[in-house]
Structure 1
Amino acid sequence: MASNAAADDPAALLRQGGCVMLLRHAQTEPGTGDPPGFDLATCSTQRNLSVSGKQNAVRMGQWFKARGLQPHRVLTSAWCRCVDTANLAFGQSQLWAPLNSVFGDRVPLPDQTAALRQALDRLPLGRFQVWVSHQTNVTALAGQFLAMGEGVILDRDAKVLARVSFD
């Protein structure tokens, strides 16, 4: 649980650990979802980051660096816009299926949100993780609607402790 002093300072919350920064991927090219027939293994068939989205992802990383924050792990959806956001911000990431998109004909899977909740419950104290995902997953887990490139800090109970914009 966050101390009162940390409640108004997202960086202090992250330093305390036992939490996650859940990010919605950075700004994409216009559109919703992905083009028909997209291939998850082929970035050119997906809706990808725009130039401003790439800049936003870099700013995310600068925000963390300027505050001396290093995530314990950076986990991401397999969609290229999420992988690119994570890699531009942090220089590395690890794919994790529970963060994958459930937009369109992909019905939200209760076990997917349950896996996210279980992982939250097991977050190490004194460390934090970054998860990069999609709006549908953010809403399912945190009940929030984020702009592209925004994040929320969640505690081990999926309670929103802070909302962070990197612009």
Structure 2
Amino acid sequence: MKPRVSVLHAVTTRLAGLTAMLLLLAASLFATPARADEASLFALLKQPGHVLLMRHTLAPGIGDPEGFVLEDCRTQRNLSDTGQVQARELGERLRAGGIESARVYSSRWCRCLDTATGLGLGPVIPLTALDSVFQRRHETEARTRALRDFLAALEPGEPVILVTHQMNVRALTGRSTGVGEGLLLNVEDPENVRVVGVF
């Protein structure tokens, strides 16, 4: 008969080994798919029929001041220092995922243009179809129609990134987005865009 201490030691050692194995398994279950999923999103973004639609990064406040002027950033709600950092970090994340350059389109509002520029992925092209509808809600339907038409006319080429506003994202997709968050869209049928991932 084995001494009680050695049996206890053997059981304890075996349990410790099983615990370590279970922890490793849990880590692989939760970490690996996340990395794999993100890699697959980057791969999809490079494929025709997919675009990244994103909300501008942090610009504290709501809407714009009364009487703001579109051509004068000083009259608008603008990115904070944090928002500028967020834009640069998102650009770095995209480059790390293999998106070295892109066709970048933006709302003409300064907070969107600055977000798009901060990505550092190429020249930024202002697009009225992405302009804010927050204080022009009567234009929502026409703006969304223009965006669908734009998506329908997209030619194959470099990845496409669209920088816009919360209400515009919701009007097109039915989804809300956080500050600086992006939705990867399948736009093969612009009348029925599908969200296939979140950045």
Band the TM-score falls in, shorter-chain normalisation: 0.7 to 0.9
CA 128–37 in structure 1, closer or farther in 2 if over 3 Å, else same: same
- Paired residue secondary structure (1:74): strand
Q: Which one has more relative contact order, counting CA pairs under 8 Å at least 6 apart? A: 1
What is the CA–CA distance in structure 2 between the aligned matches of 1:36 and 1:92, rounded to whole Å?
A: 30
Per the alignment, residue 167 of structure 2 pairs with 136
Matched, 1:11 2:45: no
Letter of the 2:85 counterpart? Q
Structure that is richer in helix per residue: 2
Gaps of 5+ in 1: none
Matched, 1:162 2:190: no
Letter of the 2:148 counterpart? R
Deviation at 1:68, TM superposition (A): 1.7
Per the alignment, residue 76 of structure 1 pairs with 106
Per the alignment, residue 72 of structure 2 pairs with 42
- Equivalent residue for 1:21, pick from 28, 52, 63: 52
Largest Rg, 1 or 2? 2
CA 143–116 in structure 1, closer or farther in 2 if over 3 Å, else same: same
- 1:41-98 CA-partner distances (Å, limit 9, x unpaired): 1101100001111010001110111122145411000000000000011253010100
Moved more, 7-16 or 91-100: 7-16
CA 7–46 in structure 1, closer or farther in 2 if over 3 Å, else same: closer
Deviation at 1:109, TM superposition (A): 3.4
Letter of the 1:151 counterpart? G
Gaps of 5+ in 2: 1-35
- Paired residue secondary structure (1:53): helix
Q: CA RMSD in A?
A: 2.0
Give the TM-score, by structure 1 length: 0.86
Letter of the 2:99 counterpart? L
What is the CA–CA distance in structure 2 between the aligned matches of 1:57 and 1:71, rounded to whole Å?
A: 15
Once the two structures are aligned, what percentage of the paired residues are identical? Answer: 41
- Equivalent residue for 1:97, pick from 128, 132, 156: 128
Letter of the 1:19 counterpart? H
- Equivalent residue for 1:53, pick from 74, 83, 106: 83
Give the TM-score, by structure 2 length: 0.73
Deviation at 1:158, TM superposition (A): 1.3
CA 162–87 in structure 1, closer or farther in 2 if over 3 Å, else same: same
